[in-house]
Chain A
Amino acid sequence: MDVILAAVGDAFTWQALLAIVIGTWAGIIIGGLPGLGSVVGLTIFLPFTFGMDVITSMALLIGVYCGSVYGGSITAILINTPGTPQSAATTFDGYPMTQQGRVDEALGWATFASFFGGVLSCVLLIFCAPQLAKFAVNFGSIEVFALVCLAMLCIVGISRGSLLKGLVCGMMGFFFSTVGSDPITGADRFTFGTYALSSGLDLIPVVVGAFALSEVFVRFSARDEEATTIPEARLRFPSLREIGRRLIELVRGSFIGSFVGALPGTGAAAAAFISYAAAQKLSPRRANLGKGEPDGIIASESSNNAVTGSAFIPTLALGIPGDVVTAMMMGAMVIHGITPGVRLMADQAQTVYALFVVLIIVNVAMLILSKPSIGLFRYLFKLPLGFVMGGIVMFSFIGAVSVRGNPLDLVVAALTGILAYVLRRGGYPLAPLIIGMVLGPALESSLRRGLLISRGDFLSFFTHSGIATTLFVLIGLFLVWTVAAGILDWRAKIADRRQPAESGARSATTQEGRP
């Protein structure tokens, strides 16, 4: 108990609180700007932390990290362009709500769900970190393969309109992730003799092209229409009664996020997609998902912010960073002489608990700072459309090139932007492209490692462990469910055949509009 009190004292110094406020606010703005995400935010602030003490520097970085994950949802809701890949799933329901004139409600739910997810995962982190870490160790390559397969199936749920088109986009994203060095043998793939391609395609430039640049193109071809005016950003928090009505959704999203975040090698973007897919199967209002249903925003935002807390579980308890962002945090800790690993909890309990307290304060700060930040975006989006679009192009370029400092990434972003525009016009959903690219590397390397471990015997995957078998059974159930639902749907369509031309024309026009 003394340790915890001392830790609270460490966290409530004026330096730490100031760092939290600056970091969180900067994080929200950086996350909200399309193109700039958590990685760029942390790269900007990392050099400043060298002169600070441990808690202050971690407070600044945690603030930037959590803020940027939340901030991405603001632009996702306002202009259909996720500020960060983690918020890609927020566009599914956030943007339809904006089109219906419910911006204030959408932003309110996104803010509250982010706060709720963040705090719940902090609580889990404080009470269950060692247990969760122990459980995560059971996830070897084969278990991860099964889990990622299950997550990949959410492409099926997210491809509204056309499953075939969703799948082809998913495969395209998966293919993008295989360009470059093979993770197992190191051989170059699909580089066509170009050295610059051997570093592969990075996720950020592709996301920037697929969402930000293609949105500029789409808005350009409709620039004289009334619909392109960006609505005024306002924030209205949900009432307690509304929260109570959707509490189960909030809790489910937060738990999925906390769990996925605790596994090494996944991340917030994957968690948001998995949580959205779960909401599509389990939410009582699932029929409205994709048409502007707050449950969709809740699923996405509560889970991606829950990852911010639980991603520290493998980092702190095992010294295994879950993604690029936590790897950067771990680097910052090492600079200050804290080496995450199995002994950290025992050796430096006070510092670890102080970090937990900081995480909670950051989430509270996020809730308080959401209003002024959204105010800033309201001001920015009031500018004439040309300035907003010019700014988006510029931020997209900066974001794409600054992730790895490779000018090739700009060309990748530009080409993806053009490709994405063509695909959107053809009625192809783009989210599966991102899912394929986020999950593809994990799926491939876990499969190949699994084959090495089982010495080439794929059938033994199914009986490798209890966890693996359970996950494969879940995949089977999901497939049966989807096929059964598809057959029922098909039958309904046949019964509806009397007006085929009309319904066909109607679905074509809806797809031709902005997906």
Chain B
Amino acid sequence: MKSLRYSLATLALIGTTHAAVAADNLEIIVPFAAGGATDIVARSFEPTFSQQLGVTSVVRNVAGASATVGTAEVANSEGNPNIIGYEPAGALSIQPSLKKLPYGPDSFTYICRTVSNPMFLMVSKSSDITSFKQLVEESQDQPFLYGSSGPGTLPHLAMAATVVNSDLKAEHVPYSGSGPAMNALAGNEIQIMADTETILENYDLRPLAVFADHRVEGYDDVPTVEELGLPALDFAVWQGVVAPKGISDERAQQYAEACKVTVESDKFKSFADKAKAGIAYLGPDDFKAFVQKRFETNKQVLEDAGLAP
């Protein structure tokens, strides 16, 4: 009896820290499990964002099927002004070309892009390869293996595009995330990996090229793929906020303003600095055009590499 009373008291204590039932509720759908890389950015984004809107918000994790289940949930809530999605690049710009989904790039009201990090082509520091040219040469006898965080993810697409557009000979081995792929790279099971600065900094890796249209600050001696004689391939890991279609323009405007203020807030900036997320704000119209363009480009890559159905 005593222990039950204590537990109830603890729960009540927890309860008071939340405003239990608020008149205006906003659900922020994150299409990954709690604690993931996208989830932690969304959770840092949420407090300032909801404060700006003057609502109580809840982060809801709806995970599964390469983030498309949660994204579909947003798309299916047409006209609902109380739901938004914090979306990764893959679910918006790759997955619709890969399989039949209940949504497409036109199913959303685009609010803003929050962060974006260019991807690097990397090899292990313990290997003796120091340039992309050398990598291509050494791949001629025996094709290399490149890892990815799963089939149809950005690391996969970036490398598939590189293989199609250069003389590099390499084959794909997917893993269940960047972490396991790094373990494989450390054990020399795979030799190449494309991923962001976060991964590059945390593991013993050597960048050979960057998938961006200009050299990246802090990595001034890493050439862009275009400088290496390849077509201008632009691959970045980005995230953004979308709302379902059919919400009022006024509501969309409120979201857009709140997002702009949040992204520019000191709180979010200091978090982004810690988590090495590059803030890259785009407003509603720019973001919409950006997603459309990325969608077309990725579709082309998938077709060239023979991955599209």
Asked if A and B touch directly (CB within 8 angstroms), the answer is yes
Contacts A320-B179, A342-B204, A404-B62: A332 and B35 contacting too (C-beta < 8 A)? yes
Q: Which residue of B63, B66, B176, B189 contacts A265 across the interface (Cβ within 8 Å)?
A: B176
| A46 and B99 in contact, given A265-B180, A373-B3, A404-B62 (Cβ under 8 angstroms) | no
Query: Is B51 on the interface with A (CB-CB < 8 A)?
Result: no
Contact of B183 with A183 in the complex, beta carbons under 8 Å? no
Q: Is B230 close to A, CB under 8 A?
A: no
A321-B179, A335-B275, A453-B173 given as contacts; is B4 within 8 A of A376 (CB)? yes
| Whole-angstrom distance between the Cβ of A54 and the nearest chain B Cβ | 11
Bound Cα distance A29, B6 (Å) = 12
* Cβ-defined contact, A139 with B187, below 8 A: yes
A236 interface contact, C-beta 8 A: no
Q: How far is the CA of A375 from the CA of B171 in the complex (A)?
A: 58
B176 interface neighbour in A26, A183, A342, Cβ under 8 Å: A183
- Which of the segments B128-136, B144-152, B285-293 contacts the partner chain? B144-152
Cα–Cα distance between A336 and B187 once the two chains are bound (Å): 29
Question: Does chain B have a CB within 8 A of A200?
Answer: yes
Interfacial chain A residues near B43, Cβ < 8 Å: 46-47, 50, 335
Most buried by B among A43, A376, A449: A449
State A375–B152 Cα separation when bound (angstroms): 51
In the complex, how many angstroms separate the beta carbon of A33 from the nearest chain B beta carbon? 11
Q: Given the known inter-chain contacts A329-B35, A334-B274, please indicate yes or no for A140 contacting B179, CB distance below 8 A.
A: no
Measured CA separation A186–B150 after assembly (Å): 8
Q: Within 8 Å CB of A376, what residues of B?
A: 3-4, 7
Encode A328-363 as 1/0 by CB contact (under 8 A) with B: 111110111101111100000000000000000000
Q: Given the complex, which residues of A lie within 8 Å of B175, measured CB to CB?
A: 449
The reply to whether B61 and A342 form a contact with Cβ atoms under 8 Å apart is no
Q: Are A445 and B176 in contact (CB under 8 A)?
A: yes
Residue A309 at the chain B interface, CB threshold 8 Å = no
Q: Are A181 and B65 in contact (CB under 8 A)?
A: yes
Q: Is the CB of B203 within 8 A of A140?
A: no
Query: 0/1 per residue, B8-37, Cβ < 8 Å to A?
Result: 001000100100000000000000011111
Which single member of A331, A337, A341, A380 contacts B274 (CB below 8 Å)? Answer: A337
Q: Which A residue's beta carbon lies closest to that of B62?
A: A405
Q: State whether the Cβ of A184 lies closer than 8 Å to any Cβ in chain B.
A: yes
Q: How far is the CB of A129 from chain B (nearest CB, A)?
A: 15
A327: chain B residues within 8 A (beta carbon): 33, 35-36, 177, 179
Contact B183 A314, beta carbon cutoff 8 Å? yes
Q: Contacts A379-B4, A405-B61 given: A324-B33 contact, CB under 8 Å?
A: yes
Main secondary structure of the interface of A (DSSP, over half): helix
Main secondary structure of the interface of B (DSSP, over half): mixed
- Closest B residue to A61 by CB, please name it: B35
Partner of A185, one of B10, B70, B151: B151
- From residue A403, how far is it (CB to closest CB) to chain B in Å? 8
Determine whether the beta carbon of A406 is less than 8 Å from that of B69.
yes
Chain B CB count within 10 A is highest, among A182, A335, A337, A340, for: A335
Point out the residues of chain A lying under 8 angstroms from B186, CB to CB.
Answer: 137, 318
Which A residues are in CB contact (< 8 Å) with B180? Answer: 264-265, 320
Rounded to whole angstroms, the CA-CA distance of A405 and B171 in the bound complex is 36
Give A403-447 as 1s and 0s: 1 = Cβ < 8 Å from B's Cβ atoms: 011100000000000000000000000000000000000000100
A376 to B186, CA, bound (A): 47
CB atoms of A335 and B151 under 8 A apart: no
Question: Which residues of B are found within 8 Å of A196, using beta-carbon distances?
Answer: 69
Q: Is the CB of B182 within 8 A of A318?
A: yes
Cβ contacts A257-283/B at 8 Å (1 or 0 each)? 000000011000000000000000000
Q: Report chain B residues within 8 Å CB of A138.
A: 187
Instruction: Establish whether residues A137 and B173, one from each chain, have CB atoms under 8 Å apart when the complex forms.
Output: no
B253 in the interface (beta carbon within 8 A): no
Are A342 and B39 in contact, with the CB atoms below 8 A? no
Contact B203 A183 (CB under 8 A): no
Chain A residue with the shortest CB-CB distance to B174: A184
Q: Across the interface, do B10 and A22 meet the contact criterion of CB distance under 8 Å? A: yes
Q: Determine if B271 and A335 form an interchain contact, defined as CB atoms under 8 angstroms apart.
A: yes
Q: Which 3 A-B pairs give the minimum distances between C-beta atoms?
A: A199-B64, A341-B202, A328-B35
Would you give 17 A-B contacts (Cβ < 8 Å), ordered by A?
A47-B59, A48-B17, A137-B187, A140-B189, A184-B174, A195-B72, A196-B69, A319-B179, A319-B203, A327-B35, A332-B35, A335-B40, A341-B201, A341-B202, A342-B204, A372-B6, A449-B175
